[in-house]
Amino acid sequence: MKILVTGGLGYIGSHTVVALQNDGYEVIIIDNLSNSNIKVLHQIKKITGILPDFEKIDLRDKEAVSLFFKQYKIDGVIHFAGSKAVGESVEKPLLYYENNLTTLITVLKEMQKNKVSHFIFSSSCTVYGQADKLPITENAPIKPAESPYGATKKMGEIIIKDTTKASTIKAIALRYFNPIGAHKSALIGELPLGVPQNLIPFVVQTAAGIQKTLSIFGNDYPTPDGTAIRDYIHVVDLAKAHIAALKRLITNKNKTNCEFFNIGTGKGSSVLEVVKAFEKATGKKVNFKIVDRRAGDITTAYADTSLANKELGWKAELNLEDALKSAWAWQLKQ
Ligand code: NAD
Ligand code: UFG
């Protein structure tokens, strides 16, 4: 089967392309290289032995996308392409609405037109905001978005759900918790541009001496050590969840035409626990200082993954230590 992976040269996309190829799928990638490098294509070949097909297309270019769908016979789409920096989305809301929503609509329209019916979407635990109950199940209420980025994920889910009601498209939206780590080969990983905004890239760059000190945003949260808690999921496990979701659609195991699954480990770790786990896993010291809370941050989020475990037959296999070691190995290669 031939699967279109949009944003397939990015962080999560590249790991998913590897998983797809290892599982026997043929892959074609669309990416505009706005947040990735063409070298990733060759790194994928080094890992899997197969060079995936690639088209440099900006998904905002409706004509190019239309031509693409006419040219290639596609069996399914995994849609990663989009912009993902929460802070930047506050400064450039229109860029985020355009790049995350109009591209989604364009892809869905072409799928509908060309009778491509399997669609997997990258959603986020951001749709839950600060959930009232922990761990977070898929039935937890969707909260008002904290940023334009969050709004695009919330709206994206609505667009997909409505489309599946009115077409032959069947979709699964995966709500990722916090993806971290890198492939064991250290040939692909996360490439943050400029100063990292996310915790793990900042931790590894501090250990590597690129950043001087990690600022821990707040130690006055109502948690055991006062720092905020997240569910960190290894990107290799996350990639496998996409294969499980795709197989569910292909084999008609889906229960409704639009399903939502939490993808996490089910375990919450505080910022201080992550720093200590990193130091233990790598033997490297991380200088840190406590600063004020970061605006828009929630206190605690970790997933109830029982639905994904049962329905997708998927479970995270790697732990925080594995993920931190792989993130460090990736950093050492940079
Ligand atoms: P990434 O930036 O590494 O990958 C996205 C890829 O899409 C990049 O290669 C970029 O060049 C490409 N792209 C962007 N706009 C495009 C366009 N208009 N046309 C064609 N290509 C385009 O991001 P990622 O971390 O791999 O995230 C993938 C998806 O998962 C995104 O939708 C993101 O919102 C979502 N997500 C990410 C996280 C996370 O923490 N990384 C968490 C939850 C959800
Ligand atoms: N943190 C620090 N210092 C840093 C960076 C992060 O203390 O330099 C803390 C944050 O305050 C938070 C935790 O580390 O408590 C994790 O922060 P990240 O930025 O790594 O991840 P977030 O949970 O804030 O972000 C994730 C996804 C986004 C999504 C968001 C919604 O990366 O895509 O959840 O909550 F939008």
Q: Which atom of ligand 1 is nearest to the CA of 60?
A: 18
pLDDT digits (tens, 9 = 90+) for 4-56: 999 999 999 999 999 999 999 999 999 999 999 999 999 999 999 999 999 99
The residue whose CA is least distant from atom 16 of ligand 2 is 199
pLDDT digits (tens, 9 = 90+) for 77-102: 999 999 999 999 999 999 999 999 99
- In CATH, what number is assigned to the domain containing residue 96? 3.40.50.720
How many DSSP H helices and E strands does the chain contain?
Answer: 12, 13
For residue 127, the 8-state DSSP code is G
Mean pLDDT, residues 124-149 = 97
Residue 193: which pLDDT band, with cuts at 50, 70 and 90?
Answer: confident
Residue burial 49-63, b: 16+ Cβ < 10 Å; e: rest: eeebebbebebeeee
Q: Which atom of ligand 1 is nearest to the CA of 125?
A: 43
Residues 258, 178, 245, 147, CA torsion sign: positive
Q: What percent of the chain has pLDDT over 90?
A: 99
Residue 276: which pLDDT band, with cuts at 50, 70 and 90?
Answer: very high
On whether residue 330 sits in a domain, the answer given is no
On whether residue 103 sits in a domain, the answer given is yes
The residue whose CA is least distant from atom 15 of ligand 2 is 228
For residue 257, what are its two tokens? 């035409």
Report yes or no: 191 and 31 within 8 Å, Cβ to Cβ. no
pLDDT digits (tens, 9 = 90+) for 249-274: 999 999 999 999 999 999 999 999 99
* Catalytic member of 11, 25, 96, 149: 149
On whether residue 71 sits in a domain, the answer given is yes
**109: containing domain:** 2-181+233-264
Ligand having the closest approach to the CA of 145: 2
On whether residue 107 sits in a domain, the answer given is yes
Q: Does the pLDDT at position 192 exceed 90?
A: no
Residue 128: which pLDDT band, with cuts at 50, 70 and 90?
Answer: very high
Could you give the count of Cα atoms lying within 13 Å of 202 in the half-sphere of its Cβ? Answer: 17
The residue whose CA is least distant from atom 21 of ligand 1 is 31
Pocket test for ligand 1, best of 14, 17, 28, 35 (most atoms within 8 A of CB): 35
Alpha-carbon span 217 to 293, nearest angstrom = 4
Based on the structure, what is the number of domains in the chain? 1
